[in-house]
Each structure stands twice: as structure tokens, then as C-alpha cells.
Amino acid sequence: MTELNSPQQLAVAHESGPLLVFVGAGSGKTRVITFRVANLLALHQVPPYRILAVTFTNKAAGELKERLARLAGEAIVRDLWVGTFHSICVRLLRRYHEQVGLSRHFLIYDDSDQKALLGRIIKAEKLSDREYPPRVVLSRIHVHKREGRGPDDIKLTPNFDGNMVELYRKYQQALRAADAVDFEDLLVLGTQLAESDSPAGRDLRQRFDHVLVDEFQDTNQIQYRLVRALAASTQNLCVVGDDDQSIYSWRGADVRNIRGFRKDFPGAQVVKLEQNYRSSANIVAAALGVIERALEREPKQLFTQQPAGDPVRIRGVLDEKEEARSVVMGIATELQQGTDAREIAIFYRTHAQSRVLEGELRARNISYQIIGGTKFFDRAEVKDLLSYLRLIMNPRSDADLLRVVNTPTRGIGNKTLEALMDVARDLGVSLFDAIRSPALEKKLSKRACQALLRFHELIVGFRAEMDQLHADELAEQVLERSGYVEALKKQDTAEADARLENLQETVGSIREYLLEAEHLGQEPTLEAYLERVALIADVDSMQDQAPSVVLMTVHAAKGLEFEVVYLTGMEEGVFPYRGMDGDRDELEEERRLAYVALTRARRSLTLTHASQRMLFGRTEPRSPSRFLSDIPKEVAEEQGLGRRFGVNSLGGYSGRVDPYARRQDYDDFNQDVDYAGTTARGRMVSRSHAQPRGSGGRSSWQEVRSRMLGTAAGEPAAESSDEGRWVDTEAFDDVGDEAMDLRWMRPGARVYHERFGKGVIREVKPETPPRIVADFGGFGVRTVLATKLNRTAR
């Protein structure tokens, strides 16, 4: 305990009752959780099997177990309940499977399985996958699941119509018929079980003396309900998190959980960990400058006793190519100076930004890995092998059968499969069982039936041997006897060789799991291995031993740290992302995301912004991110083209701006730059000096707003001050009358938004530019730019 600071000691020593620990970035969060669990075990003699610690990634759970093993011993750690929300729910559902209508060997469908299943349902319902894209429909179904709504609980909206309700119903029926669940089901069923008045529910609520939750700011409502239920008998619920790092609202995370914890638990003790042990003083100051401008946050004053270190570099460049060259040159220098490649990271807001960076890294022969790209277990050949294994374990899984029944080719075509699906649907059985149905012989040729029967016999044979073979041996048998290996060898190409290597690596991963399970005293089963693979996250697949520079989105960087960080694309419309449409809550989250990015760096932090960038096939002028203006000039160093964007010589931007005043995407700052040395045309002006022009058939935003509101063009309207905003006085707007005729927009009008789908207008806001408040059903009520909406008839 002496190695902990005072607030850390307070959090560790708290004996009973609810505990809320606010943890600043780099403040020793994992150490506190580790010592708290060790303290409960040693000092308070709490049995390990009565302690539950929940994390968000397998990597975090593994690190916690390793630290606890060093403190308390491996034997004790084996009995602890430590894992992600999903893995804990799997464990609960395996134990109480009958209570939720599943077999003990139920399958977990990953994203691609879910999309394939829903795609087949959409086709069977004779709906257009353009009007009902599987990915979009799934996303909306998941929103309803997270909020506890089944198909019968949904109120129809333009964004979730009757067809979608029926798709949701058929999707759930298909999952249950396959004895499968998706990731949302794991949480929903686990929570329903824990909250139920059944013997299983009562048992679960009495099972744990202490419940600890890491990264509590990232929990959604269903996850919060789960841990509250599991801690109900003792109220010994310890939650650890930082509202400043809540960045996952798009997948259901609700920052209100951590901010409202004291209301839910009035007697909760609150501890704040504010000392940063990770980053240099300059990096901490830069991050604080950004997050302190947040509109709503728990007051925290991050500090460090580390040296000031190098200034934070703010580097202006011409375009994404120059940005990539600049970043990679800096990395090459770091490598020459002995920095471990694994300690260097490049962050970007969207995956699309990685292409040019990857090209430059390859050109300089610098090894790299991408986190969040195509994961190893998402590769086609790997998924094929896993589907074989899952089908062997559970023949009711239609999704797995459809994936491998003709892989490698067995002469089983689409018409054969359509007939098989018709028979299975008519009889109410699985596809596997339908293969042996006499009804199938009436629909198919003898040759087609024989091909299906041979496949059926192959799977039955594997099932008969499943209990006699180790999981890795079974996998090898599948690859050989299915003809998969032989088919790849016949191709005799470099790609086929690479696929064979991936399959060998998969078998190797099964062996690795078997050894690890044996070492931990666990029963090594095929079921447990498949479950483990299904729950792997992007960050869990990081190659710890590979000496490679790491590329990832900022979202993927959460929870990680690096010696050297390059944060690219710090421009308006890129970061903050242009898709935020000025929504204040989303801009707040973008600010928190920037804070997370900055606090990943220990020693060196470089932020780059380009004057123009090609993204999604379009090259457009760019202005510096509003977040750069919040970095104190005393800790920053301007490099490159910075001055041409209004940056003063010390690196601080010339004048504070309203961080939530909407900036016209790339119109307010038109970079008319002579790269030989002249200054950009854009400058800081007050509203009185920035009258938008309306000539040559073009319309000003004021005229557009007047048409919408039915007022005269010169009539004043209430609006927020634009004092201190970047504007281009010569080209304030560039929108035509026809494109901007929005007079049809009235409350009740039906609209369509590219991101949120169908909606209904609730309010027209008299602003410049005009905004619309619309109800987008499952996505809620949103405020968006009028120009982002299209009119729809229904």
C-alpha cells in the first residue's frame, strides 16, 4: 500500500458499500483495481469465487489476472470471476441455459454471421436489400435490444417500420432455431436472468460479495442493469471510470451512468485519481487545455510530477501525401535513435485516412500493423474452418452449414440450397436435418441429393469422433478429410499458400489455448475455444512481439499508451468529424475523443493538419481543428504551414473560438495559399465584418433562412455570436437557389438523413446556416443541418 498515493490508498481500502472512482488518464487505474481485489482477498478474507471484476476487453482482463497472480498467486486467481461483460454473460448462460431456452452448447454469431442470417431473411421476405441493408437493419435492431425492447415492444416510426419489426421477429426466431445468440443477446439474456425472480435469478443476486467494473463510463443501460442486479444483495459495487473518456455513444455507451451514479447510490463514497504517471507535463497540459473546454464534466484537475519534456508539435502540411511523408520521416528518425517500433503509433479519426500512410510506410520499408482492419479470425479460410467446427458441435447452425456445405466445391449449387431451405422451412427443422428428409428427393436430382448426403455423413463422422480427439486434432482432421487442404494445394499460388499458413496458424492457436487451459486447471473444450474466438476484440489481436509501428483509429487506441504518438488529420470536418452535423452532444464526444488521443502519448506527441485533403474520393480545402486552438501556446511548437492558418509563432491559435459555433464545412476558411510564402486569405473577423455575399444567382444563408421562415431577407433573427470565428470574407457561401430551396421544411414533414435514416421534422431552427430538429426513431431526436436532409414521401 505504501507504493500508492493517498487517493489510490483510499480507493483500495474502502471496505463496503458503493464506491465511485473517477480516474484521470494515466492515473494508475489498473493498479488500483488490482490492489483493491488483492486487499479484499488478503485483508478481508473474501473468497475469490465471490468477487466479480468486469472489464471491456480480453486484453484488460488478461492484464488484471496477470497482476493479481503476481500479488495473490495463480491458484487464487483461477477462482476469481474476471472477464468482459460478454464473457461473464456467456459463463452465466452456459450454467443456466435452460432458464433462457438455450442448450448448453449454444453458438455465438459474430457480425458476419448476423449479417448473413439477416440477409437471407430479407431475401426470403422479398424485400429489397437496398431499402433494408442488413448492416443498417442490424444496427437498429441492436439499439432496440440494448434498450430492452423486443419486436412486440416497438412503436413504429419512419426509421423502424413494420417490415423492420417483422425482420427483427424473424431474425430472433432464426437465431433460436439455430440455438444461437448474437452479442446483444448475451447481455440482454444475462441481465434478464439476473433480474428475474426465478431460482437462478435469486442465486445470481446472492453469488457475489463484491462487484468491480472497469471503464464504467463505457457501459450502456443493459450493462449497468446487469451489474446492479449482481451487486443487489450487498450493494458492494465499485465502479471505476472517467467521464472525460466516454467515447462510445455510437454503440450505446451512456455517460449518464457514471455521472448519475451518486443519485442511484446516495451513500456512495467518491474518490478522484488526478495524478498522471504516464505523460510528460507538456502533454498533460495540452490534453487539459482541450478537455477543460467541455460543457459538462466532473471537475478534475489532472496533474503530473513528470518533467516538461518536448513541446507538443502542431505541424501544418500541404496535403495528406506531405502529411504521410512528414510522419514517416519522423518515425524513421525515432527508429534510428533506438525507439522500439511497438512504442510508436499513428492515430487517425477514420480508417480511410490510413491508405496514404500505409503507402509511405511500405515505401520506406517500415513494418507496421493495423488494429481494426481485417482481423485474423475474419479471414475467409479461418472462418471456414471455424464454421466446420461449430457445425460439428451444433448441427442446428444453418449459418455455418451454408458457409461450408460447398466449401470446397462439392457440386452443391444455389438451386440445391434453395430447395433445401424450402424443405427445412416447411418441416420446421434445421438444414442439416432436412438433408435426410424424403421430401427433398422430390425436389432435387439424385446427384444433388447424394452430394448433400455425403456432406451430412462427413459431419456425422466428425461428431462421432469429437469426444475422442483433442480440439486441434479434430481441426486437422476437418481440413484433411473435407478436402480443404487438397483444394488449396491444387491452386498452387502464393495466395493459396498464404491461406494454408493461416489455417496452420489457426490450428496452432487451438493448441496454444489447450496448453493455456491446462496450465490454468480448466477443462480444455472445443466449445470454450470457439467462445473465446467469438469474443476477441480488435485490440486483443495486437501482436505484442512483432516489432511494428501501430496504426489505428482513435477509438481503437482507448486504453493503450505509446512512447511516441502521431495524431493525423486534425482539421475541421475530419476531427471533429463532419458527420457530427453540429450536434452538441456529439461534438462533446469528439472533444473527449481528442482528449483520449492526446493522453495516449508518454514522451512525444505530434498533431498534423493539412490545408487540403483527399478523403472519400474528394479533395477539399481544410481548416485547422477547433481543438488545436485549445492547446496552451506555452506547451506547443508550431511547425510547417501553421502560420498560414492563423497560428501564432508560439503555437497557440490567434484568439479563442467558440468550440460549438458551427463552422461552414470548408467555406468559412478558404485556403487561397501561395506556398512560396504568402498568407492565407481567411482571417479572424467579427460578424459585422463578415457579410456573406449573394450574387450571380447564389443565395446567402440568411436568404435561405428567410425562405424557410417566411421573413424578409433583411429581417434580423436571434442567433449566437460568431465573434472570433474563421470566415472567408470573399467566399462565405457557395450554394445555389435550387439546391437550397428548403421552403418545404415544416414540422411534420418527412425527411431522410444519410446516417440516421428516415425521420420527421419537429422544429425548424432560425439559425445561420439553418438547422432542423427531427425525430429519427431508433436514433432519437437529433439536430442536423438542413442541407443534410432529403425530402421523402413516406
Helix (H) or strand (E) holding 205: helix 199-207
Q: In a 10 Å sphere around its CB, with 0-12 CB exposed, 13-18 middle and 19+ buried, how is residue 106 labelled?
A: buried
Of 185, 214, 254, 360, the active-site residue reads 214
- CB burial string 49-85: b at 16+ within 10 A, e below: ebbbbbbbbbbbbeebbebbbebbeeebbbebbbbbb
573 beta partners: 577
Residue 258 CB: number of other CB atoms within 10 A?
Answer: 25
Known catalytic residue at 29 = yes
Of 110, 184, 185, 215, the active-site residue reads 215
Q: In a 10 Å sphere around its CB, with 0-12 CB exposed, 13-18 middle and 19+ buried, how is residue 605 labelled?
A: buried
Of 192, 245, 353, 407, the active-site residue reads 245
Known catalytic residue at 480 = no
765 beta partners: 771
Of 29, 228, 315, 558, the active-site residue reads 29
Distance from C-alpha of 74 to C-alpha of 514, rounded to nearest angstrom = 18
Under 8 Å between Cβ of 646 and 299: no
CA dist list (Å): 573 to 626, 684, 725: 10, 19, 15
CA dist list (Å): 780 to 160, 328, 744, 764: 11, 42, 22, 17
- CB burial string 739-769: b at 16+ within 10 A, e below: ebebeebeeebebbbeebbbbbbeebeebbb
Q: What's at 741, amino acid-wise? A: D
User: What three-state secondary structure class fits 612?
Assistant: strand
Known catalytic residue at 672 = no
Known catalytic residue at 490 = no
Distance, CA of 580 to chain centre:
16
Under 8 Å between Cβ of 619 and 613: yes
Known catalytic residue at 30 = yes
Known catalytic residue at 215 = yes
Contacts of 181 (CB under 8 A, 6+ apart): 93, 102, 106, 107, 108, 109, 175, 189
- Report whether the peptide linkage leading into residue 408 is cis, meaning its omega lies within 30 degrees of zero: yes
- Report whether the peptide linkage leading into residue 621 is cis, meaning its omega lies within 30 degrees of zero: no
Distance from C-alpha of 312 to C-alpha of 314, rounded to nearest angstrom = 7
706 beta partners: none
Distance from C-alpha of 91 to C-alpha of 95, rounded to nearest angstrom = 6
Distance from C-alpha of 142 to C-alpha of 137, rounded to nearest angstrom = 9
C-alpha cell at 435: 438433408
Length of the chain in terms of residues written: 794
Of 315, 600, 662, 771, the active-site residue reads 600
Residues tagged active-site: 29-30, 214-215, 245, 600
